[in-house]
Amino acid sequence: MTTFWCEHAELGTGPVPGVRISVDNGRIAAIDRVPIPADGDTRLAGVVLPGFANAHSHAFHRALRGRTHDQGGTFWTWRERMYAVADRLDPDSYLALARATYAEMALAGVTCVGEFHYLHHPAGGGRYADPNAMSEALVQAAAEAGVRLTLLDACYLTGGLEDGGHLPLGDVQLRFSDGDADAWAARVAELKERPGLRIGAAVHSVRAVPADQLPTVVAAASGRPLHVHLSEQPAENAACQGFYGRTPTGLLDGAGALGPDTTVVHALHLTGDDISALGGSRTSVCACPSTEADLADGMGLFRLLGDAGSPLCLGSDQHVQTDLLAEARELEERDRLITHERGRFRPAELVEALTVAGHRSLGWADAGRLAPGQRADLVAVRLDSPRTAGAAPDQLVMAATAADVHTVVTDGRVVVSGGQHVLGDVGRLLADAIAPLWDER
Ligand SMILES: [Zn+2]
């Protein structure tokens, strides 16, 4: 039994002072109100929150941070540079990059990540000796970084969508594709869940998976998390409307892809009917505010989606920043800019998006709350830093950043202590993983 004494702990009704959390075999065994720590307690200063779930990640996009701001452009020109990095990765370099990327997430309080994975095969197509070698690199990376993983293995079959129909795969996209949805499902079926690993599914987008292939993916995902990029760009909506005569949301709805096990990512350019379909089916929505700003995607109507019935969660997506507290804050700030009103999301709702809702989206019903029986995921955030000093504990999410996270416990294991990750210098790990990807060749 390990015991953590928390100066404040978020027990579901707001932070309360003086809490001891007893941990046994990776689970919370007991929670007691204790005004002062006892000998043997690990003392956690500040506010202890449940572990954060980063519900949408592409680990390899971390290599693009600070590298794409020199030539203007659009989402589509950014994508060309992303493809250039994708073209260079193999299982070894993918492992190094993902391990460092997940370690950076752990430093930011992330205890569980949803990796939306489509970099399946060797550059140019073909197959590795183990057709899941790239997936296994991600599994190993997350385990070594001390972050639980839901591997959202993405079906990706076509090069895009225009009014005339789906486009053939481009050269770089060949490695994303299994050929058809049946072959994708057969490969994913070979992936086995392990402690700390869930296998989920993804439809890359309605651009990359033709409508006649969607039911196969939906069937293969049955009972597991299913994630989809949805309406990130107006061009996707226009092409879908032009070819299928429906919105992307309508197309997914018609294929039976919406529901409480499904999460749509972005969901920025929606009609009223789309919002009703998503909310009415209790489909989760994952907002990625920093990416949506960075890629000039637009602003979502997340308050309306939440009010319609969609649970909201958060992702760092392309990792323009790895700061889930900032993503949560930006969810509220974007809605203020749209509506000219403050307090669109209460701080407690932002914490819920970071914790319970994210874990539910990723298929972990036993994580995201500080309660007996739950996984022992703890994130301790300073109340005494230059950024947070003076903040009320129950409004900390509107002030703190990733730099204020000092201790992170995942499944009872201390992964970050004193702001240091067990793997050591994460900046060095990132630099060493990223530099070779940008070498002149
Ligand atoms: Zn994405």
pLDDT per position as a tens digit, 281-315: 999 999 999 999 998 999 999 999 999 999 999 99
∠ CA(108), CA(314), CA(351), 5° rounding?
Answer: 70
Could you give the dihedral angle defined by the CA atoms of residues 322, 326, 332 and 336, in that order, rounded to the nearest 10 degrees?
Answer: -110
Q: Side chain identity at 103, as an amino acid letter? A: A
What is the pLDDT averaged over residues 388-396? Answer: 98
Beta-carbon contacts of 382 under 8 Å, excluding residues fewer than 6 positions away, are 45, 46, 388, 400, 404, 405, 406
Q: Ligand 1 centroid to 83 CA: how many Å?
A: 13
Q: Ligand 1 centroid to 226 CA: how many Å?
A: 13
Q: Which helix (H) or strand (E) holds 334?
A: helix 324-339
**What pLDDT, on a 0 to 100 scale, did the predictor assign at position 440?**
77
Q: How far is CA 336 from the centre of its chain?
A: 23
**What pLDDT, on a 0 to 100 scale, did the predictor assign at position 441?**
67
Percent residues over pLDDT 90 in the chain: 93
Q: Ligand 1 centroid to 375 CA: how many Å?
A: 27
Q: Ligand 1 centroid to 278 CA: how many Å?
A: 19
* Bigger pLDDT: 438 vs 322: 322
**What pLDDT, on a 0 to 100 scale, did the predictor assign at position 84?**
86
| Residues constituting the chain | 441
Distances in Å between the Cα of 182 and the Cα atoms of 119, 154, 256, 403, 425 are 18, 13, 17, 44, 42
pLDDT tops 70 at residue 248: yes
> How many Cα atoms sit within 13 Å of 339 on the Cβ side?
16
pLDDT tops 80 at residue 200: yes
Q: Ligand 1 centroid to 40 CA: how many Å?
A: 43
Residue found under tokens 């709702």: 349
For the segment 138-197, what is each residue's pLDDT rounded down to a tens digit?
Answer: 999 999 999 999 999 999 999 999 999 999 999 999 999 999 999 999 999 999 999 999
Positions annotated as catalytic residues are 266, 317
pTM for this prediction = 0.97
pLDDT tops 90 at residue 77: no
Taking all residues of the chain, what is their mean pLDDT, rounded to a whole number? 96
DSSP character string of 107-173 = HTTEEEEEEEE---S-TTS---SSTTHHHHHHHHHHHHHT-EEEEEEEE---SEEETTEEEPPPTGG
pLDDT tops 80 at residue 128: yes
What is the pLDDT averaged over residues 237-255? Answer: 97
Q: Ligand 1 centroid to 228 CA: how many Å?
A: 9
Q: Ligand 1 centroid to 317 CA: how many Å?
A: 5
Q: Ligand 1 centroid to 60 CA: how many Å?
A: 11
